[in-house]
């Protein structure tokens, strides 16, 4: 008997073996050195598509993926439709790091019917997995509150968190059926909940028909008071229905989808129409890792977005995509429309997607962009805390270092610091950066405080090396990079060439924000000095400085970016006599020397 050890192969190709990949329809699965799936794609020709990733000229995002590819697996299929379905299933199952992942932006509120014995109806800001029913999101908070109000008046669902021991005000104003004191049976209460759900699903005509039959039955039984109450419910529902915008003159229930894509980001808005009326919309955002066009992005979304009972309508420019997606489906699910009203809803969705795109970056957490920064810089950890350094030289001599701190992508002003540079009396940015970095982290080390995840130095390779020298002498291992303003080049330790990110890169924007804040903070320190009455009055003592010349000096030269490197010659060029310019310059030097 032979012992056999069977183990799963991580994959069948390495990047060096891509020429052996067959030229067939199929799906390619890219894995890292640990065998984790990091990207899934489909192709008509597997060999050509996979080879394209390893071409010499790559954009930054592709380069980031390629650096992490250790193995490539493939699954051959007989046609493109099979590849499409297989790709979608694998992405859904494994959620690979570099594939587009859509998330609900939750811009709009929901109506929630809770999972209780006597369900409550409440206003909700987000959808949770708590067993409750959620409706929406709705276009406005006002619409949510109006809907809850009409449901309470019509179906009298409770709003209290816990059942009280006696009836509350809502019962006395006919907005709650008071299950707390058994004024309604559980069966009848559930019946009201069911009707509230029909109302929220936009099934107004079905609901009105049911209530009309009940009203007639009560009238036949001579229960006129109960019949009148049902009639009031019908009238309330009718008035509410009429107040809603009618989009279609036929009772169509469809989802209308619009897309806006830019800067490696995509926003998709789904407008939900039920029985010819808009009942809500939902916004999704996704990160696009490669230069995929809108057809590719929308295809990924539609394969992920599933609503089996509802048809989906997209812009007419996606006709080929619709034909591709409907292949192999018995009943068509995806459509473009020739109807002008339906197309106007798609247009509304597209316009909302563009609006949400601009809103999104002020609403989402910075963690996604910080994760991108981690990848771009090759950091071990996400840079949750970043500290930035800048040096301000005043009159070319009196230097101040500004240190700012960012936490989770936002300024953490309580950890901002200014330092007056002690070691140099003449401009030497490298020495000043060395001193500032050494003093800052020597102190944190002595006080046993946490260090940042990343240090950003304003400057180039020389400034970066000065910071590294300080950290090495302190025996500290902290990630540090520098950002040179002229070409927005990022310098990394032990790399001869800088990184240049696209101008629209979110990772670059984070570094720029930190760098610009260090500059602003240095400016604020100067302004704090500048605003002292002493500085304004020193010119009064100089002969030859009248009101007019004083105003010239104050307006033209007492600006942070000018005075930090001001020379006597600059004053002479501004029509000040040489002896006056000399005295002004000396007075300014003495002032800043005293303040230092």
CATH number, residue 88: 3.40.1440.10
Q: Are residues 392 and 525 in the same domain?
A: yes
- Flag whether 272 is in a domain: yes
Q: Are residues 312 and 328 in the same domain?
A: yes
Between CA 167 and CA 427 the distance in angstroms is: 79
Contacts of 241 (CB under 8 A, 6+ apart): 204, 277
Q: Are residues 295 and 387 in the same domain?
A: no
- Flag whether 124 is in a domain: no
| pLDDT for the residue numbered 99 | 80
Between CA 196 and CA 199 the distance in angstroms is: 5
Contact between residue 280 and residue 111 where contact means Cβ atoms under 8 Å apart = no
Between CA 212 and CA 208 the distance in angstroms is: 6
End-of-domain residue from the set 83, 98, 113 = 98
- Flag whether 104 is in a domain: no
Question: What is the count of structural domains for the chain?
Answer: 4
- Residue 265: CATH number of its domain: 3.30.420
Q: Are residues 490 and 428 in the same domain?
A: yes
Centre a 10 Å sphere on the Cβ of residue 316 and count the other Cβ atoms it contains: 12
End-of-domain residue from the set 363, 382, 402 = 363
Q: Are residues 357 and 379 in the same domain?
A: no
Bridge partners of 91, per DSSP, are none
End-of-domain residue from the set 79, 98, 117 = 98
Centre a 10 Å sphere on the Cβ of residue 172 and count the other Cβ atoms it contains: 10
Domain range for 549: 532-595
Between CA 556 and CA 562 the distance in angstroms is: 8
| pLDDT for the residue numbered 590 | 66
Bridge partners of 267, per DSSP, are 260, 285
Q: Are residues 407 and 505 in the same domain?
A: yes
| pLDDT for the residue numbered 491 | 95
Q: Are residues 351 and 386 in the same domain?
A: no
- Flag whether 213 is in a domain: no
Q: Are residues 502 and 401 in the same domain?
A: yes
- Flag whether 389 is in a domain: yes
Phi, psi of 464 (to 5 degrees): -60, -45
| pLDDT for the residue numbered 128 | 77
Q: What token pair was written down for 54? A: 């390893």
Q: Are residues 389 and 497 in the same domain?
A: yes
- Flag whether 262 is in a domain: yes
- Flag whether 434 is in a domain: yes
**Sign of the torsion angle spanned by Cα atoms 234, 237, 243, 249:** negative
Between CA 442 and CA 431 the distance in angstroms is: 16
Q: How far is CA 548 from CA 170, 352, 540, 544, 583, in A?
A: 74, 55, 12, 10, 17
Residues (pLDDT < 70) of the chain are 1-11, 56-61, 104-108, 136-141, 240-250, 263-264, 279-280, 288-292, 306-308, 328-330, 358-368, 393-398, 424-427, 504, 523-541, 544, 547, 550-566, 575, 589-596
- Flag whether 110 is in a domain: no
Q: 3-state DSSP call for residue 380?
A: coil
Residue corresponding to tokens 């489909």 = 42
Q: What token pair was written down for 406? A: 């960012």
Q: How far is CA 436 from CA 330, 440, 457, 521, 528, in A?
A: 70, 6, 11, 15, 20
Q: 3-state DSSP call for residue 337?
A: coil
Q: Are residues 324 and 410 in the same domain?
A: no
Contact between residue 394 and residue 535 where contact means Cβ atoms under 8 Å apart = no
Beta strands in 5-87, from DSSP E residues, in sequence order? 26-31, 37-43, 71-76
Q: Are residues 520 and 552 in the same domain?
A: no
Q: Are residues 375 and 523 in the same domain?
A: yes
Bridge partners of 252, per DSSP, are none
């Amino acid at each position: 008997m032979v012992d056999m050890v069977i183990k799963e192969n991580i994959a069948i190709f390495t990047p060096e073996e891509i020429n052996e990949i067959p030229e067939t329809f199929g799906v390619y699965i890219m894995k890292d050195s640990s065998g984790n799936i990091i990207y899934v794609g489909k192709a008509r020709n597997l060999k050509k598509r996979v080879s394209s990733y390893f071409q010499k000229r790559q954009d930054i995002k592709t380069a980031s993926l390629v650096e992490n590819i250790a193995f490539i697996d493939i699954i051959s299929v007989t046609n493109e439709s099979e590849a499409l379905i297989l790709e979608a299933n694998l992405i859904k199952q494994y959620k690979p790091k570099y594939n587009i992942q859509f998330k609900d932006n939750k811009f709009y509120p929901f109506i929630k019917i809770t999972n209780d014995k006597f369900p409550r109806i409440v206003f909700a800001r987000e959808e949770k997995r708590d067993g409750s029913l959620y409706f929406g999101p709705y276009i406005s908070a006002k619409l949510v509150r109006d809907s809850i109000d009409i449901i309470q008046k019509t179906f009298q669902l409770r709003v209290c968190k816990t059942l009280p021991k006696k009836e509350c005000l809502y019962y006395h104003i006919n907005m709650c059926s008071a299950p707390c004191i058994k004024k309604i049976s559980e069966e009848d209460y559930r019946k009201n909940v069911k009707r509230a759900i029909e109302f929220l699903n936009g099934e107004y005509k079905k609901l009105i028909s049911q209530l009309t039959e009940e009203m007639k039955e009560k009238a036949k039984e001579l229960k006129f008071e109960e019949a009148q109450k049902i009639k009031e419910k019908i009238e309330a529902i009718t008035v509410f229905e009429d107040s809603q915008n009618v989009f279609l003159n036929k009772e169509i229930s469809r989802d209308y989808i619009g897309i806006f894509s830019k800067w490696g980001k995509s926003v998709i808005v789904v407008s939900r129409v039920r029985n010819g009326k808009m009942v809500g919309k939902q916004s999704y955002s996704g990160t696009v890792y490669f230069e995929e066009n809108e057809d590719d992005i929308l295809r990924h979304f539609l394969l992920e977005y599933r609503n089996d009972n509802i048809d989906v309508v997209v812009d007419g420019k996606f006709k080929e995509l619709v034909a591709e997606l409907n292949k192999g489906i018995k009943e068509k699910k995806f459509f473009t429309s020739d109807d002008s009203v339906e197309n106007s809803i798609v247009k509304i969705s597209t316009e909302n997607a563009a609006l949400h795109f601009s809103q999104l970056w002020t609403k989402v957490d910075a963690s996604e962009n910080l994760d991108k920064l981690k990848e771009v810089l090759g950091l071990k950890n996400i840079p949750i805390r970043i500290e930035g350094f800048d040096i301000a030289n005043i009159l070319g001599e009196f230097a101040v270092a500004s240190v700012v701190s960012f936490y989770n992508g936002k300024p953490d002003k309580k950890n901002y610091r200014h330092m007056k540079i002690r070691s140099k009396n003449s401009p030497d940015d490298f020495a000043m950066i060395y001193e500032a970095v050494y003093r800052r982290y020597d102190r944190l080390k002595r006080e046993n405080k946490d260090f940042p995840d990343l240090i950003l130095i304003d400057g180039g390779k020389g400034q970066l090396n000065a910071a590294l020298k300080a950290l090495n002498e302190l025996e500290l291992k902290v990630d540090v990079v520098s950002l040179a303003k002229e070409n927005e080049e990022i310098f990394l330790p032990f790399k001869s060439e800088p990184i240049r990110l696209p101008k629209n890169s979110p990772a670059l924007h984070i570094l720029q924000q930190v760098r610009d804040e260090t500059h602003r903070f240095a400016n604020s320190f100067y302004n704090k000095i500048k605003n002292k009455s002493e500085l304004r009055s020193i010119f009064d003592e100089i002969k030859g400085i009248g009101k007019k010349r004083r105003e010239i000096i104050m307006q033209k030269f007492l600006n942070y970016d000018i005075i930090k490197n001001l020379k006597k010659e600059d004053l002479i060029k501004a029509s000040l006599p040489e002896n006056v310019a000399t005295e002004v310059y000396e007075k300014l030097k003495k002032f800043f020397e005293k303040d230092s």
